[in-house]
Amino acid sequence: MNVLTTSNQKESNIIVITNDLKERAQQLSVELSDAQLSMISSFLAELSSYNEHTNLVGNADPVVVVRDHVLDSLSLVRLINEMRPSGRESISLVDIGSGAGFPAMILAIAIPELAVLLTDSVGKKTRFLTESAKNLGLDDRVRVVNSRAEDLSKTKEYRERFDFATARAVGKLDLVAELTLPFIRTGGFLLAQKSRNQLPDELVQGELAINEIGGELVETRSLDKEVLQKDFVVVCVKKVKSTPRQYPRATSELKRPIT
């Protein structure tokens, strides 16, 4: 099989996958237009190609990416729409440890009025995200920064500026809270995705950290297990007061629980 045939087959497979994605997204109460599906299709193709020379995900097969990453990302759309400030034309989200762009890049595609900041400390990942945002025509509302969250949230430009925060596969709930809540304005929300099995072991220390840093755990929302093919929940944390200036702590201190 020559290179051209292989490329055409990949494109054909992605079209089939995104058609199935439209139906599954509807089950998550997300209506994707043809233009949005085309953008996701382009993103899947770009990720697959990039992953051949630079490892971003364990398996870049579009079938696997949709199942393990895209649907997870889309599961947050309904929550964001429910919790967004009323009367605002635009909303903002910061994503910590963005990796290959999940969930933030998919959310930027699915919610046209969402401005997104993606952060990661690994240069090869932020280079991919920067290129992808430009190629998808999203660079007017998608910004990518190569930095550690604990440093970036100390800056005036980003501290307590965002309506929402996400941090997928970054760590336990207490760490996620410490890294994200300083970015969120009072009244905003952290949406922390966790497996149901993970949560009980993380909840006690997680809630202690959340309360200390200025948040309040308001809900644990179950996600559609049939669509996602996994038992996941979203821990919804509301920012109720300003974060004390000492948080987040320095990188060397983050492994120690907040007491």
Rounded to whole angstroms, how far apart are CA atoms 24 and 18? Answer: 10
Burial class (CB in 10 A: 0-12, 13-18, 19+), 147: middle
Question: Following DSSP, what letter does each residue of 126-143 receive, concatenated?
Answer: HHHHHHHHHHTT-TTTEE
Q: How far is CA 250 from CA 210, 215, 232, in A?
A: 17, 20, 30
Rounded to whole angstroms, how far apart are CA atoms 49 and 109? Answer: 20
First to last CA, the chain: 60
Q: Which residues contact 2 (CB under 8 A, 6 or more apart)?
A: none
Q: Domain 3-253 maps to which CATH number in 3.40.50.150, 3.20.20.100, 3.30.70.100, 3.40.190.10?
A: 3.40.50.150
Q: What is the mean pLDDT of the chain?
A: 92
Tell me if the bond preceding 244 is cis, omega within 30° of 0.
no
* Closest listed residue to residue 178, CA positions, set 251, 121, 126, 233: 251
Structure confidence at residue 15 (pLDDT): 63
Sorted by where each begins, the domain ranges of the chain are 3-253
Element containing residue 159 per DSSP (H, E): none
Structure confidence at residue 129 (pLDDT): 98
Residue range 97-127, pLDDT digits in tens: 999 999 999 999 999 999 999 999 999 999 9
Structure confidence at residue 84 (pLDDT): 93
Q: Is 25 helix (H, G, I), strand (E, B) or coil?
A: helix
Structure confidence at residue 20 (pLDDT): 86
pTM for this structure? 0.92
Of 3-12, 69-78, 224-233, the poorest mean pLDDT is in 3-12
- Chain mean position to CA 72: 9
- Residue 1 reports pLDDT greater than 50: no
- Residue 12 reports pLDDT greater than 90: no
- Residue 86 reports pLDDT greater than 90: no
- Residue 14 reports pLDDT greater than 90: no
- Residue 10 reports pLDDT greater than 70: no
Residues of the chain with pLDDT > 70, as a percent, come to 94
Residue range 151-205, pLDDT digits in tens: 999 999 999 999 999 999 899 999 999 999 999 999 999 999 999 998 999 999 9
Q: Is 231 helix (H, G, I), strand (E, B) or coil?
A: coil
Structure confidence at residue 11 (pLDDT): 59
